[in-house]
Amino acid sequence: MQITNTTDYAHRIIDYLSEKGNLATEAELADNLKIPIRNISKIMNILKNNNLINSEMGFNGGYFLAKNPERISYFDVISATESSMNLNKCLERNGVCSRNCIETCNVRKVLLKVQEDINQNLKNITFENSFNPSEIIEKRYLLLKVDLNSLDMNIISIKSKFSDLFNNYMTYDEFLYKFINHCVSKKDRDRVKSFLIDFKNSEKYYQDSKVNYRSEDGKTWMDLDKRIDDTQMVLRFKSYEYIYENQDKT
């Protein structure tokens, strides 16, 4: 998948308006962003129709953002300018499969997971983040297996700061208490807890589910995945955090 020039120009325009915080004319955008003037009107109409920008008519008029930069994500812009963001036609809402096996195709399951990760990452990066190119994303990973009969827990893989919180001597109930209270924002605790204990009431022998949460400050977010069979559950936690990297290092 490769974005079009229209999307590239749209990202530049939103970024410019975010940083300027004021009106900008088509001529100003074309000159400062090196975008052909003939393309500006078309792009601005697309962005306006998708409620990303507004315009003000008159001698001193121009274009400005329809919402704060932190409420506009890269996903919003790409969704507005691209006809499709999906990696394959089988991932479309009315997906087409030459073998008629959309529900069982292993290739599609892999592509769907990749697509979900791409979409979520684009949603998590806003144009407020673009002001700080010195920020980097730290990733944390945790993979664990839970015996559904005994609720014994086994950590398969653990990286970064998670290792300070969890260990293999914990029961799953102990893990839940610590994870919910230390790693989940208050507004998301009930939803995430329900996701993590859903196996107790499930009649399914197999599940492949996902939930996302973000912290109150919008700087940390996490993807949670689970797979369940009749005897065990495997959980994967991927956490991301923006960390300011000091450029004055010596």
Tokens 């090196």: give the residue. 34
pLDDT band at 158; cut points 50, 70, 90: confident
pLDDT of residue 131: 53
Q: Kindly report the pTM of this predicted structure.
A: 0.55
Query: Helix, strand or coil for residue 13?
Result: helix
pLDDT digits (tens, 9 = 90+) for 21-71: 789 999 999 999 999 999 999 999 999 999 999 998 887 889 999 988 888
pLDDT of residue 246: 46
Whether the pLDDT of residue 245 is over 60: the answer is no
pLDDT digits (tens, 9 = 90+) for 100-143: 777 778 877 887 888 888 888 888 788 876 655 455 566 678 88
**Please, is 193 exposed, middle or buried when counting C-beta atoms within 10 Å of its C-beta (0-12, 13-18, 19+)?**
middle
Q: Is the dihedral of CA 201, 206, 212, 213 positive or negative?
A: positive
pLDDT of residue 243: 57
pLDDT of residue 250: 36
pLDDT digits (tens, 9 = 90+) for 196-241: 888 765 555 555 666 777 766 666 777 788 888 778 888 888 877 6
**Please, is 236 exposed, middle or buried when counting C-beta atoms within 10 Å of its C-beta (0-12, 13-18, 19+)?**
middle
Whether the pLDDT of residue 162 is over 90: the answer is no
Cα distance between residue 207 and residue 230, in whole Å: 10
Q: To which H or E segment does residue 183 belong?
A: helix 172-183
